[in-house]
Amino acid sequence: MGKSDISLIIPTLNEAGNIGELIERARSVIEGLGVEYEILVMDGGSTDGTCEEAEQAGARAVREGGETYGTALRTGFSQARGEFVITMDSDLSHEPEFIRALWDRRDQAEVVIASRYVPGGQAEMSALRWALSRILNVVFTSLLRLPIRDISSGFRLYRGEGVRSIEIEARDFDVLEEILIKLHLGGNRMIEAPFHYRPRRHGKSHAKLIRFGLAYLRTLWRMLRLRRGK
């Protein structure tokens, strides 16, 4: 198969009712850009018809796409053929119409992040989740000296050669921080675009707070050692 301009990677786990609409809207946006593209749904073992709904909407569903978010991204990066790689959530909290804003900034940096925490950005979430997210971002950006404010946003555009060149170890959502620190240390430029994060449309979040909290702490320790060259 030939190369594409854009590879859109969407990790999924039981997102029937969301994924079909997401893909149809994403296809409409990307086709409006006039580029070659592919949509990869990296499924972690859905039992609700997610893969079938995704394929009906025009995506390629990878049924062994990784049991966790981190492994899904790693598998997706290895299969993506695009010069640019866009990642986003599958629950419609990331509105696909924002893909155009990421694409329009592709020449400004190697990583473009849809950011909730820059002027103009918004986040619709519970007070507890907002507080935990802000604490996470402040701690990571301060200790790791990253020049951005929203390191836990999974809605991003990367240059494909960049994400394919790094070794990813994290398995859970802490992979987002690992990717950024490794790309930053590799000299890649990063910018943020103000973004409005919305609640998921259907279903429940698959995040497990305690497990992910421990994973974030382990990743922070590994990235601090990497930052210090140890």
> Are the C-beta atoms of residues 228 and 220 closer than 8 Å to each other?
no
* pTM, rounded to two decimals: 0.86
How much is the pLDDT for 56? 98
The domains of the chain are located at 4-227
> Are the C-beta atoms of residues 20 and 53 closer than 8 Å to each other?
yes
Full 3-state SS string of 45-87: CCCCCHHHHHHHHCCEEECCCCCCHHHHHHHHHHHCCEEEEEE
Query: pLDDT by residue (tens digit) across 147-178?
Result: 899 988 999 999 999 999 999 988 888 899 88
d(CA 40, CA 43): 9
How much is the pLDDT for 105? 97
> Are the C-beta atoms of residues 149 and 137 closer than 8 Å to each other?
yes
Q: Which parts of the chain register pLDDT below 50?
A: 1, 230
How much is the pLDDT for 109? 97
Superfamily of domain 4-227: Spore Coat Polysaccharide Biosynthesis Protein SpsA; Chain A (3.90.550.10)
Which secondary structure element, helix H or strand E, spans residue 9, and what is its range?
strand 4-12
Residue 162's contacts (CB-CB under 8 Å, 6 or more residues apart) are 110, 111, 183, 186, 188
> Are the C-beta atoms of residues 102 and 114 closer than 8 Å to each other?
yes
How much is the pLDDT for 125? 77
The CA-based dihedral angle spanning residues 40, 111, 90, 82, taken in that order and rounded to the nearest 10 degrees? -10
